[in-house]
């Protein structure tokens, strides 16, 4: 069975109209996806679907980058890809010419994520399992063989990774049963977008608590006095026992972050997210030391395993918020999960956007079953937007994700949604 085609689509949802998703830096996001479809010559109609999340303008650049990867995928034997995931990943992330426009960052890396995830989706569908189960059924050795260890061996060697996975293997079944029974804990982001007024926040917060949510995130960074006012409002609504996360979306410089977090600390943030540039490992370290015991979280813009390695080595973050499609797909996510487990940093993946919740439910379930073996301080982000566009949307019940059962990696969109929101010629954008 060979890959017969790789199709790249530009899909944009007009979320800026309602300010859903707005934050201090991304003031008008149109949640979008550079979307990849892998087809084969098997004649069974099974396709692999993957996407990388974007927020409007620039999606077309990622689509061009997916097109650039086409020669590395089309014509490849699917069993060869599945038989050596590491080599396949390297062929996309370390091509001798394409790497120059990264390396391992920016549009080309985002495109690699969409394509690599599409191949994992195809594989999981052929196995007739949800992706988390495909991974949870792989042996420690098979999992280690997926990972590209270039540049991280000073933090985690393949042998250490193997030992870690083997130590969790005997008890995988217990944790799988636990998650199938109870679901995976989650928190909700869609109550506190920065473009929402107080009345909207109050209403959404009340609705969320009624639905069983006990952890919520608010956006900060649009002016510290306003941030403090909103934090006071949210904390009053939530009471002292519920968790309130705060997210500055990279708005502050280092010294400004330290001062701002000092003002917000009385409202007991469970974490302070993206206080400054996502590239600034040393800046996060300085902030973390200054604001302890408030813990920092970052990761949605950390572009590869080398960045996470340094955040872990520096003790700069208390929570790892890896992104399933900014890292180069399942392969690089696995590298980061393994390092996080070694360094004892809980992984609470970035979600929301479009398709991210669908993705990361698989990642966190697998992490618990086979890698970290713990739910302490771990929650998956949830935002209630755009799930209706997916064939197998996430299901959340009582503030927890219900483990997905459908085969694949869950980001396949409804054909009608692709037709309506393809940019610029879909029916929505053309009209």
Q: What letters, b where the CB count within 10 A reaches 16 and e where it falls short, cover 73-87? A: beebebeebbeebee
What is the rounded CA–CA span in Å between residue 408 and residue 143? 18
What is the rounded CA–CA span in Å between residue 47 and residue 185? 31
Per the listing, tokens 């966190």 go with: 364
Q: Compute the least distance from the CB of residue 67 to its own copies, in Å.
A: 8
Nearer to its own copies, 107 or 179 (CB): 107
Per CB under 8 A, which region of 92-100, 131-139, 402-410, 411-419 contacts its own copies? 92-100
Q: Compute the least distance from the CB of residue 164 to its own copies, in Å.
A: 19
What is the rounded CA–CA span in Å between residue 13 and residue 19? 12
Q: Tell whether residue 280 is a contact of its own copies (CB under 8 A).
A: yes
Q: Tell whether residue 10 is a contact of its own copies (CB under 8 A).
A: no
- Name residues contacting its own copies, limited to 359-398 (CB under 8 A): none
Q: Residue from 260, 304, 331, 412 that binds its own copies (CB under 8 A)? A: 304
Give every CB contact of residue 159 below 8 A, 6+ residues apart in sequence: none
Work out the number of other CB atoms within 10 angstroms of the CB of residue 133. Answer: 21
Q: What letters, b where the CB count within 10 A reaches 16 and e where it falls short, cover 266-275? A: ebebbbbbbb
Site string for its own copies, 21-50 (x = CB under 8 A): ----xxxxxx--------------------
Q: Tell whether residue 108 is a contact of its own copies (CB under 8 A).
A: yes
Q: Residue from 2, 42, 141, 151 that binds its own copies (CB under 8 A)? A: 151
Q: Tell whether residue 86 is a contact of its own copies (CB under 8 A).
A: no
Q: Tell whether residue 282 is a contact of its own copies (CB under 8 A).
A: yes
Q: Compute the least distance from the CB of residue 103 to its own copies, in Å.
A: 6
Catalytic residue set: 219, 350
Nearest to 105 by CA among 305, 395, 317: 305
Q: Residue from 76, 105, 129, 378 that binds its own copies (CB under 8 A)? A: 105
Q: Tell whether residue 107 is a contact of its own copies (CB under 8 A).
A: yes
Q: Compute the least distance from the CB of residue 226 to its own copies, in Å.
A: 18
Q: Compute the least distance from the CB of residue 106 to its own copies, in Å.
A: 1
Angle at 410 between CA 425 and CA 32, to 5 degrees: 35
User: How many amino acids of this chain bind its own copies (CB under 8 A)?
Assistant: 64
Q: Tell whether residue 68 is a contact of its own copies (CB under 8 A).
A: yes
Q: Residue from 47, 279, 377, 392 that binds its own copies (CB under 8 A)? A: 279
Q: Compute the least distance from the CB of residue 391 to its own copies, in Å.
A: 25
- Which H or E element spans position 39? strand 32-40
Tokens, residue 37: 């479809």
What is the rounded CA–CA span in Å between residue 313 and residue 325? 23
Nearer to its own copies, 60 or 268 (CB): 60
What is the rounded CA–CA span in Å between residue 355 and residue 270? 25
Q: Tell whether residue 355 is a contact of its own copies (CB under 8 A).
A: no
- 266 phi, psi to nearest 5 deg: -60, -20
Tokens, residue 67: 């097109």
Tokens, residue 401: 């994700």
CA-based torsion, 245, 251, 257, 259: positive or negative:
negative
Nearer to its own copies, 23 or 176 (CB): 23
Q: Tell whether residue 288 is a contact of its own copies (CB under 8 A).
A: no
Q: Compute the least distance from the CB of residue 97 to its own copies, in Å.
A: 4
- Which H or E element spans position 215? strand 215-219
Q: Tell whether residue 236 is a contact of its own copies (CB under 8 A).
A: no
What is the rounded CA–CA span in Å between residue 347 and residue 354? 20
Q: What is the 3-state secondary structure (H, E, C) of 20-38?
A: CCCCCCCCCCCCEEEEEEE
Per CB under 8 A, which region of 200-208, 234-242, 300-308, 341-349 contacts its own copies? 300-308
DSSP conformation class of 392: S
Q: Compute the least distance from the CB of residue 367 to its own copies, in Å.
A: 24
Q: Residue from 278, 299, 399, 407 that binds its own copies (CB under 8 A)? A: 278
Q: Kindly list the residues in this chain that would bind its own copies in the complex (CB under 8 A).
A: 25-30, 54-62, 64-65, 67-68, 94-110, 150-154, 250, 253-256, 276-283, 286, 301, 303-304, 306-307, 309-310, 313-314
């Amino acid at each position: 069975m060979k890959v017969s085609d790789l199709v790249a689509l530009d899909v944009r949802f007009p979320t800026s109209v309602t300010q859903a998703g707005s934050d201090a830096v991304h003031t008008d996001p149109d949640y979008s996806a550079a979307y990849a479809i892998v087809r084969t010559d098997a004649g069974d109609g099974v396709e692999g679907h993957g996407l990388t999340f974007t927020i409007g303008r620039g999606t077309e650049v990622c689509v061009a980058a997916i097109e650039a990867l086409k020669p590395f995928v089309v014509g490849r034997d699917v069993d060869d890809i599945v038989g050596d995931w590491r080599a396949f990943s390297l062929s996309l992330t370390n091509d001798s010419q394409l790497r120059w426009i990264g390396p391992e960052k920016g549009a080309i890396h985002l495109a690699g994520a969409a394509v690599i995830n599409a191949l994992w989706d195809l594989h999981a569908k052929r196995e007739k399992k949800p992706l988390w189960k495909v991974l949870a059924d792989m042996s420690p050795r098979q999992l280690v063989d997926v990972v590209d260890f270039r540049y991280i061996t000073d933090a985690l060697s393949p042998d250490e990774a193997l030992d870690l996975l083997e130590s969790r293997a005997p008890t995988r079944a217990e944790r799988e049963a636990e998650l199938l029974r109870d679901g995976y804990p989650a928190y909700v982001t869609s109550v506190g977008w920065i473009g929402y007024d107080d009345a909207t926040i109050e209403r959404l917060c009340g609705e969320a608590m009624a639905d069983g949510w006990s952890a919520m995130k608010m956006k900060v960074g649009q002016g510290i006095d306003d941030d403090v006012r909103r934090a006071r409002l949210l904390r009053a609504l939530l009471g002292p026992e519920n968790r309130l996360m705060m997210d500055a979306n990279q708005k502050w410089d280092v010294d400004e972050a330290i001062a701002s977090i000092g003002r917000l600390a009385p409202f007991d943030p469970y974490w302070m997210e993206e206080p400054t540039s996502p590239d600034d490992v040393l800046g996060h370290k300085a902030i973390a030391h200054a604001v302890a015991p408030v813990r920092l979280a970052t990761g949605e813009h950390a572009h590869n395993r080398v960045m996470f390695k340094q955040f872990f080595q520096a003790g700069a973050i208390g929570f790892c918020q890896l992104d399933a499609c900014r890292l180069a797909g399942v392969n690089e996510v696995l590298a980061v999960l393994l390092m996080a487990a070694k360094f004892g940093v809980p992984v609470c993946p970035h979600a929301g956007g479009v398709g991210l919740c669908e993705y990361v439910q698989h990642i966190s379930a697998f992490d618990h079953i086979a890698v970290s073996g713990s739910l302490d301080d771990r929650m998956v982000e949830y935002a209630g937007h755009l799930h209706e566009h997916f064939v197998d949307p996430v299901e959340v019940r009582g503030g927890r994700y219900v483990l997905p059962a459908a085969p694949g990696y869950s980001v396949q969109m409804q054909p009608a949604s692709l037709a309506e929101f393809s940019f610029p010629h879909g029916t929505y954008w053309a009209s």
